[in-house]
């Protein structure tokens, strides 16, 4: 028979604290490096702005139903499959630099994935409702689960909570091939495009690498946390 560890160990544990601190530190290092690279490569000019690059890449890939628009904030760039818009941060939209080119092309990579029904993107999109539900209820459900386990001496609710957390972890790993493939598509197009003569592709590749690393760190941190919770539930046998 399995007996779960004491409920409070779910939130008060040296192991969990180490995992959280290590993940936060790795995330800070990657995020800081990404911002430095972006700032550095933003100073290297090319002929076209991010918006022009995005529009050209979409057109050359036969995609005419996706709009390129600008969105507030810094590094807030994303592709919206529901509205079919490539959303570029104000800096990327109007800037003519290697950084802007790399980011704009990457987001267009997602639009191409969508147009070609790329399997990993399709799977990721189908998971969004479940992930949104899990994300919105995780904290509340953790409190309810711990209280329930303490009162009824049953880990049943904790199993449900771990199941919800597992959904978010799976989503983080499904996101990885989506992001890496978008970067691959971006670099291939940039290398073969008419702007290639004015670009340093190694720098563009480096910028996209550090952007992808933010997702890698998030996925590894989520998996480590999930394995910790699973070990807490199955850690003792009567």
Could you give the residue ranges of the DSSP H alpha helices within the chain? 14-41, 50-60, 90-94, 98-115, 119-152, 156-192, 201-234
| CA–CA separation, 221 and 21 (whole Å) | 10
Tell me if 89 sits within 8 A of 76, measured CB to CB.
yes
Indicate the pLDDT class of residue 103, thresholds 50, 70 and 90. Answer: very high
pTM of the prediction? 0.84
Average pLDDT over residues 145-163: 71
| Nearest 10 degrees: Cα torsion 154, 155, 161, 166 | -160
pLDDT of residue 236: 47
With 80 as the cut, is the pLDDT of residue 162 above it?
yes
Q: What is the pLDDT of residues 26-85, one digit of tens each?
A: 999 999 999 999 899 989 988 899 999 999 999 999 999 999 999 998 889 999 999 999
Average pLDDT over residues 161-165: 89
Give the active site residue among 90, 107, 179, 191: 107
With 80 as the cut, is the pLDDT of residue 145 above it?
no
Q: Which residue has the higher pLDDT, 199 or 207?
A: 207
Answer yes or no: 60 catalytic: no
Average pLDDT over residues 92-101: 92
Mean pLDDT for all residues in the chain: 86
With 80 as the cut, is the pLDDT of residue 6 above it?
no
Indicate the pLDDT class of residue 238, thresholds 50, 70 and 90. Answer: very low
């Amino acid at each position: 028979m399995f007996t779960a560890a004491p409920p409070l160990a779910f939130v008060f544990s040296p192991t969990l604290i180490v995992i959280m601190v290590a993940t936060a530190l790795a995330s800070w290092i990657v995020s800081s490096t990404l911002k430095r690279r972006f700032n550095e490569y933003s100073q290297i000019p090319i002929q076209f702005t991010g918006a022009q690059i995005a529009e050209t890449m979409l057109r050359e890939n036969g995609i005419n139903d996706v709009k390129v628009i600008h969105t507030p904030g810094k590094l807030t760039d994303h592709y919206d499959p529901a509205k079919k818009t490539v959303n570029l941060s104000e800096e990327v939209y109007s800037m003519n630099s290697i950084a802007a080119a790399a980011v704009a092309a990457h987001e267009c990579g997602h639009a191409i994935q969508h147009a070609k029904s790329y399997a990993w993107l399709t799977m990721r999109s189908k998971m969004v409702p479940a992930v949104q539900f899990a994300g919105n209820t995780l904290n509340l459900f953790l409190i309810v689960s711990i209280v329930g386990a303490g009162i009824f001496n049953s880990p049943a609710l904790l199993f449900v909570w771990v199941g919800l957390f597992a959904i978010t972890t799976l989503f983080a790993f499904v996101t990885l091939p989506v992001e890496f493939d978008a970067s691959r598509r971006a670099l291939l197009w940039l290398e073969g495009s008419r702007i290639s003569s004015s670009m340093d592709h190694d720098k563009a590749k480096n910028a996209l690498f550090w952007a992808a690393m933010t997702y890698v760190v998030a996925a590894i941190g989520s998996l480590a946390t999930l394995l910790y919770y699973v070990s807490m539930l199955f850690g003792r046998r009567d």
